[in-house]
């Protein structure tokens, strides 16, 4: 994606979204099992979770593409549970972009506005207004030189920007993105994440993004939601969920490498691979011993996989520390203030 130094400012009215006891089933499959969730107005909320957890169903329910079997959905102060998609002031960008192949970039971006003008000749946007809004959005997303091209003449990143432009040109109070970066290569995904963050800052609207990539979720969100089997496992700031996971599931799901978990005295003890101190013998720390099984070089350090009496665990070493090799015996100390404790039911203990 192209990053602009001073894009034009576009203001929107941001909407809060509230789901209260929302359920959705598909035959015997329970997609949403009484979801209670508040998406703050003006936030960049990322919904993340494993496949089949219900995250895309939430997005489609907010958009009106799926109707809940029970519960209430509010956008702003309005109950929109039974409203059609066109009555919700919401736009959605799909995973496959869904661009019209026979239209130019300009035609794709302006399509919704032209349709609105055709159906509402009195109060709909006029031709000059459409031209101005398309130009503003094209400048915001670096598409000015591509307006005459067709989708087949664009790269994956360019098509993604066109899909975003088509959505935001309508100036919605709520913008929904369904795994918009999944088709991009890793290098382009990194720049696309930065572009979405900048876009959210410039628009000021509420943006909800669904992804299965927990690292993408942590780096992008201002408000993070982790889903598990049709319910909200935890929601809050990314830092809160990473540092104080509410359950063993959230602890293991967020973080790369994932949290180490051990059974100790009827509890589950967790610690981040970055928190282990090699060869330390501090009295105020949990000692972990093991043997190195493999080492993965990461450029600025290495990820070390070990096995020991407590089972397998992962250790992160930084550049400048003594490199370990398979077969080495290690002693790791984890400071007690960095330990996470979970009860038999998997919930966090204070």
The CA distance from 105 to 143, in Å, is: 8
DSSP-derived pairing of the beta strands 231-236 and 223-228? antiparallel
* Range scoring the smallest mean pLDDT among 3-12, 113-122, 128-137, 165-174: 3-12
Which domains occur in the chain, in start order?
17-243 (3.40.50.300), 264-342 (2.40.50.140)
The CA distance from 308 to 155, in Å, is: 48
Q: Please report which confidence band the pLDDT of residue 305 belongs to, taking 50, 70 and 90 as the band edges.
A: very high
Q: Assign residue 5 a region (left: φ > 0; alpha: ψ between -120 and 50; beta: otherwise).
A: alpha
Mean pLDDT to the nearest integer, 4-9: 36
Instruction: Report the predicted TM-score, pTM, of the whole model to 2 decimal places.
Output: 0.84
The CA distance from 109 to 174, in Å, is: 17
- Of all residues in the chain, the percent with pLDDT exceeding 70 is 95
Beta bridge partners of 301: 318
* Range scoring the smallest mean pLDDT among 134-138, 180-184, 202-206, 310-314: 180-184
Q: Assign residue 346 a region (left: φ > 0; alpha: ψ between -120 and 50; beta: otherwise).
A: left
pLDDT tops 70 at residue 1? no
Q: List helix spans (H) across 90-185.
A: 105-119, 127-140, 156-168
Q: Please report which confidence band the pLDDT of residue 181 belongs to, taking 50, 70 and 90 as the band edges.
A: confident
Cis check: omega of the bond before 257, within 30 degrees of 0 = yes
DSSP state letters, 39-93: E-TT-EEEEE-STTSSHHHHHHHHHTSS--SEEEEEETTEE-TT--GGGTTEEEE
Q: What is the pLDDT of residue 44?
A: 96
- Give the chain's length: 350
* Coil vs helix vs strand at 232: strand
Q: Which range, 60-74, 145-159, 189-203, is most confident?
A: 60-74
The sheet that has 29-39: what strands, in order across it?
29-39, 17-26, 70-75, 78-79
Say which residue, 319 or 139, is predicted with more confidence: 139
pLDDT, tens digit, 9 for 90 and up, residues 217-238: 999 999 999 999 999 999 999 9
Q: Which of 273, 303, 266, 302 is nearest to 288 (CA)?
A: 273
Say which residue, 277 or 47, is predicted with more confidence: 47
Helix or strand holding residue 240 (H, E): helix 238-243
Q: What is the pLDDT of residue 183?
A: 65
* Coil vs helix vs strand at 342: strand
The CA distance from 56 to 178, in Å, is: 7
Largest CA distance in the chain: 78
Q: What is the pLDDT of residue 139?
A: 87
- Cβ distance 247 to 313 under 8 Å? no
Q: Please report which confidence band the pLDDT of residue 280 belongs to, taking 50, 70 and 90 as the band edges.
A: low
Task: Compute φ and ψ for 163, nearest 5 degrees.
Answer: -60, -40
Q: Which range, 35-49, 160-174, 280-294, is most confident?
A: 35-49
Mean pLDDT to the nearest integer, 89-105: 86
Say which residue, 293 or 166, is predicted with more confidence: 293
Q: What is the pLDDT of residue 281?
A: 66
The CA distance from 51 to 66, in Å, is: 18
* Coil vs helix vs strand at 31: strand
């Amino acid at each position: 994606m192209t990053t602009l130094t001073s894009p034009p400012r576009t203001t929107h009215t941001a909407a809060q979204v509230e789901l209260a006891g929302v359920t959705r089933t598909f035959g015997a499959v329970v997609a949403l099992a009484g979801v209670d969730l508040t998406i703050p107005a003006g936030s960049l909320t990322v919904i993340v979770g494993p496949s089949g957890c219900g995250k895309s169903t939430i997005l489609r329910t907010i958009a009106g593409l799926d109707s809940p079997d029970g519960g209430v959905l509010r956008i702003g102060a309005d109950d929109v549970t039974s409203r059609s998609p066109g009555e919700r002031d919401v736009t959605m960008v799909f995973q496959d972009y869904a661009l019209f192949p026979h239209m130019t970039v300009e035609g794709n971006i302006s399509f919704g506005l032209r349709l609105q003008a055709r159906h509402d000749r009195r109060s709909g946007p006029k031709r000059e207004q459409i031209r101005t809004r398309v130009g503003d959005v094209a400048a915001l997303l670096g598409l000015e030189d591509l307006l005459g091209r067709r989708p087949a003449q664009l790269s994956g990143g360019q098509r993604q920007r066109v899909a975003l432009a088509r959505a935001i040109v309508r100036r919605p109070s709520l913008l929904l993105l369904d795994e918009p970066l999944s088709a991009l290569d890793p290098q382009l995904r990194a720049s696309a994440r930065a572009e979405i963050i900048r876009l959210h800052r410039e628009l000021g609207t509420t943006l909800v993004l669904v992804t299965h990539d927990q690292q993408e979720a942590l780096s992008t969100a201002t408000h993070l939601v982790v889903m598990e089997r049709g319910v909200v496992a935890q929601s809050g700031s990314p830092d809160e969920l990473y540092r104080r996971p509410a359950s063993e599931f959230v602890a293991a799901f967020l973080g790369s490498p994932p949290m180490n978990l051990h059974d100790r005295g009827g509890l589950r003890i967790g610690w981040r691979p970055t928190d282990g101190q090699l060869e330390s013998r501090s009295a105020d720390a949990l000692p972990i011993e093991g043997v190195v099984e493999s080492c993965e070089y990461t450029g600025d350090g290495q990820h070390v996989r070990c096995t020991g009496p407590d089972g397998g665990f992962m250790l992160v070493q930084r550049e400048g520390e003594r490199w370990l090799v398979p077969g080495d015996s290690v002693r790791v100390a984890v400071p007690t203030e960095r330990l996470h404790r979970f009860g038999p039911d998997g919930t966090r203990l204070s």
